[in-house]
Amino acid sequence: MLENYFGSGIAPTEEQKRRLLRCRAALELLKATLV
């Protein structure tokens, strides 16, 4: 799944992982405020 997200079989870099985690955390926070 992550391979498809970042490109054809390319492992995500540390920066991409951090960005993804930050984005996911922001989404969770947004969900918490909306509910």
- Ordered mean pLDDT values, 10 residues apiece, the chain (35 residues): 54 82 92 88
Q: Number of folded domains in the chain?
A: 1
Structural domain harbouring 11: 2-34
pLDDT of residue 7: 57
* Beta carbons within 8 Å of 9's beta carbon, 6+ residues apart: 3
The alpha carbon dihedral of 9, 4, 16, 29 has a sign of negative
pTM of the model: 0.53
Token readout for 32 is 């918490």
Q: What is the pLDDT of residue 16?
A: 85
Task: State which amino acid sits at residue 35.
Answer: V
